[in-house]
Structure 1
């Protein structure tokens, strides 16, 4: 009797559920507007665009890093006495990051593509080629590395070094274009065009702007009326840009704190990407072996013959040693890594609590007098900095910074050069801090353990390279932090 009475209510609830799922007609979520009831993507209602249920895929080589809050900065004594990394709590949004450092093989794809597309352009090719002379030392026999490290297949899976920050940034832009080009090829929207040259080069920007003239595939994007068109960014087909991670993202990912939480309680704050303060393995089979590639002591780069401890005289292949809890390899040791940020010693006092970053330069596309987009000789859209939108000096080099009594500026100009001493005379003191100085982190095969702590930071001019600095790429996650 009770069952019979409940039947109407059960049917009504079931009907409401099914209708809400879009199984009864076209009123379902993602098919018609909750605002007007008009059907989406239908010719009779004016083709109102809507893409429902979008979920971002990880780009090639990337792993997901779920964001959250953490304490960024120093976790032990500041042995360098720089006082530039005071601990502060920040929040980092979810993002994607390369599982490993960019390898020689991966970077050689960049130089190969450039040489093929711009044959004979020596200047273009040279601009992106790693500087092999970084291996050269006056009192060391390193010439074999000068000749072999980047080019020889024996080092294909070793991290690329000798790259400037500018070259790393250029690689990220190139990789974005090649990945999005492949996505369009895989979906049958375009086909590979190995005859690209001059200004007709596929870039994500020029394709979306309708400038790139490639070869259409057999499965173009269709409008509801049966006509075809190029994909738009709003379609969600292509991925966001590959880029260098921010300092906050890099440090957050390196610690991999997801393995050290109980609910929202952090049970153990880490010193390194692994648990504990020891540099050696505690697993039974590998007990005593080093967890990373670094210098144990003066002149000890790899241990004794017969028992090579970290098994690496210089850098090691990118998949060496155990990954951290985000499945990221070599976040400590092996090679240092460029990050996106401009270096400032007091950034910790200035940056935002959410996604902290210093280095924003806001740009817009350049247009000619007819309003058409302007491209350079390589077919890339030209961007100009918007007046007043270079934020590298906000609160640290802009007109509101370091004004002393009488509104007098330390230097002649109210900019970074005026705030930090710059003196190019031989033997003169210079702070080395400019708008072109970038942060690098992680420690390397020729660093002591102190620099393996992800919270430590160093800096170098973005146009310079070293034999122990490489990089890895990151990508923003669009939408929710982990999906609903």
Structure 2
């Protein structure tokens, strides 16, 4: 027995010496952390502010009474998400879907040898093995496979470019797949071959953490899968206006390079949420390929975060620029909205303007008022200010489909441009005047705008 105790003691001593901590409690440390500001974002230092309307706005007090709240630090996009940025998401989902179908057709049909084709056969697009295979060392795993359209969990083949020209299709199997992706001939016109945008959907899962935290047992009941069509609704430029000619915006706004840096519109709240998930997936997959730690999730801001960021650190501000007027001292408008009883062009813009227009506020954020209104991750309730928390408040009722939009737009009067004004739209609705921007939590020592400088 004594011998056994001696052996255990020696073993413990050797293990302690081998760890290099001399038997002291030094903690289990993770990967070395290097804070990194995401591209195109500004750091909004946390702090307290008076959220809501002033006593002078009696009508606004009905749904936005003044309340002191505190928010933590976060990063926010300096501009609204642009057409070119959202188009990258659309193209990723489109190409993933097509490559998935090509891989399935190559596997289940046997492909062919490409008789008479110019580019081999559909076998060029065959899956590259299991997505979990040990040899999955591609430097771009975010493009290896579609977790959204892959019941076989096979890696997609991104080594070969998709063939878009019909006269270059390699074989009949390729023709079969591509024909599925386009509208029938009787739904096309002017010699155009139009894609069936309803085919391209993004699937992702979320967990209701609040409900799961308050419940015991299996948390699978709180996990939900979302399937979202990703293409923006370009018909909003027609449906939002009666007896008005807006066909050029319908035809060109999302696709033409002239509008690349303009804010995306025609995107619903559910589509904006899907974009946030994809942006997180895309960024983290690249970082994993480099052996770097994950970044925090991209998401829509809460209503409190949005208003705090819009104020730019100016307490009691009516607008992001601080003053109570929509013009500067030279008589120039400070935002893109509907001034002078409907003279849309008085501010030098008929519709939207480029996302990085006018002056940024003191947090470096552009167009927090005007241009396009913005979705936030909060449900609209007239009395939500009365029962929400005073620290990082956010009311997001899953059953309430009315979601808050903030900031006003190119077609709104100046009242809706005020940083404290609230409005809402239904989560599945898309409008020609609503876009969004994303935020990301700041990790590490919390910054506080209210603390004295060191």
TM-score by length of 2: 0.64
Contact 2:69 2:392 in 1 (8 A): yes
Query: What is the CA–CA distance in structure 2 between the aligned matches of 1:243 and 1:319, rounded to whole Å?
Result: 21
What are the Cα deviations for residues 15-47 of structure 1, in whole angstroms up to 9, with x where unaligned?
xxxxxxxxxxxxxxxx9769x52677xxxxxxx
1:246 to 284, 288, 302: 302
Q: Which residue of 1 aligns with 2:254?
A: 150
Is structure 2 residue 336 aligned with structure 1 residue 293?
yes
2:279 to 175, 196, 207: 175
What are the Cα deviations for residues 338-379 of structure 1, in whole angstroms up to 9, with x where unaligned?
0000111111111111000012xxxxxxxxxxxxxxxxxxxx
Query: What is the CA–CA distance in structure 2 between the aligned matches of 1:160 and 1:351, rounded to whole Å?
Result: 31
Q: Helix, strand or coil for the counterpart of 1:96?
A: strand
Q: Which residue of 1 aligns with 2:3?
A: none
Please show how residues 118-197 of structure 1 align to structure 2 within 5 Å.
118-119=97-98, 122-125=197-200, 127-136=229-238, 137-185=241-289, 187=290, 189=291
Q: Which residue of 2 aligns with 1:58?
A: 37
Contact 2:53 2:61 in 1 (8 A): no
Query: What is the CA–CA distance in structure 2 between the aligned matches of 1:51 and 1:33, rounded to whole Å?
Result: 18
1:270 CA displacement: 0.9
Q: Which runs of 5+ in 2 are unaligned?
A: 1-18, 99-179, 182-196, 202-228, 449-453
Contact 2:53 2:60 in 1 (8 A): no
Query: What is the CA–CA distance in structure 2 between the aligned matches of 1:160 and 1:460, rounded to whole Å?
Result: 17
Please show how residues 219-298 of structure 1 align to structure 2 within 5 Å.
237-257=293-313, 260=314, 269-282=316-329, 287-298=330-341
Q: Which runs of 5+ in 1 are unaligned?
A: 1-30, 41-47, 190-230, 232-236, 261-267, 304-309, 360-391, 394-433
Q: Helix, strand or coil for the counterpart of 1:340?
A: strand
2:434 to 456, 459, 469: 469
Q: Which residue of 2 aligns with 1:25?
A: none
TM-score by length of 1: 0.60
Contact 1:342 1:436 in 2 (8 A): yes
1:77 CA displacement: 4.3
- In structure 2, relative to structure 1, the CA distance for the partners of 1:321 and 1:33 (3 Å cut) is farther
- In structure 2, relative to structure 1, the CA distance for the partners of 1:181 and 1:111 (3 Å cut) is same
Contact 1:66 1:93 in 2 (8 A): yes
Query: What is the CA–CA distance in structure 2 between the aligned matches of 1:183 and 1:474, rounded to whole Å?
Result: 19
1:124 CA displacement: 4.5
Contact 1:165 1:462 in 2 (8 A): yes
1:183 CA displacement: 2.3
- In structure 2, relative to structure 1, the CA distance for the partners of 1:32 and 1:472 (3 Å cut) is farther
Query: What is the CA–CA distance in structure 2 between the aligned matches of 1:77 and 1:113, rounded to whole Å?
Result: 49
Query: What is the CA–CA distance in structure 2 between the aligned matches of 1:49 and 1:69, rounded to whole Å?
Result: 32
1:67 to 37, 46, 56: 46
Q: Helix, strand or coil for the counterpart of 1:475?
A: strand
1:297 CA displacement: 2.2
Q: Which residue of 1 aligns with 2:138?
A: none
Is structure 2 residue 345 aligned with structure 1 residue 345?
no
Is structure 2 residue 409 aligned with structure 1 residue 444?
yes
Query: What is the CA–CA distance in structure 1 between the aligned matches of 2:67 and 2:301, rounded to whole Å?
Result: 19
Q: Which residue of 2 aligns with 1:93?
A: 72
Q: Paired residues, what number?
A: 306
Query: What is the CA–CA distance in structure 1 between the aligned matches of 2:51 and 2:298, rounded to whole Å?
Result: 24
Is structure 2 residue 355 aligned with structure 1 residue 318?
yes
1:82 CA displacement: 7.1
Contact 1:32 1:38 in 2 (8 A): no
Contact 2:77 2:437 in 1 (8 A): yes
Task: Judging by fraction of residues, say which structure has more helix.
Answer: 2
The CA RMSD over aligned residues, in Å, is: 2.3
Contact 1:180 1:239 in 2 (8 A): yes
Contact 1:332 1:444 in 2 (8 A): yes
What are the Cα deviations for residues 433-474 of structure 1, in whole angstroms up to 9, with x where unaligned?
x51111000011011110111111111110001110000000
1:477 CA displacement: 1.1
Q: Helix, strand or coil for the counterpart of 1:118?
A: helix
2:24 to 30, 37, 49: 37
Query: What is the CA–CA distance in structure 2 between the aligned matches of 1:60 and 1:435, rounded to whole Å?
Result: 33
1:275 CA displacement: 2.3
- In structure 2, relative to structure 1, the CA distance for the partners of 1:109 and 1:249 (3 Å cut) is same
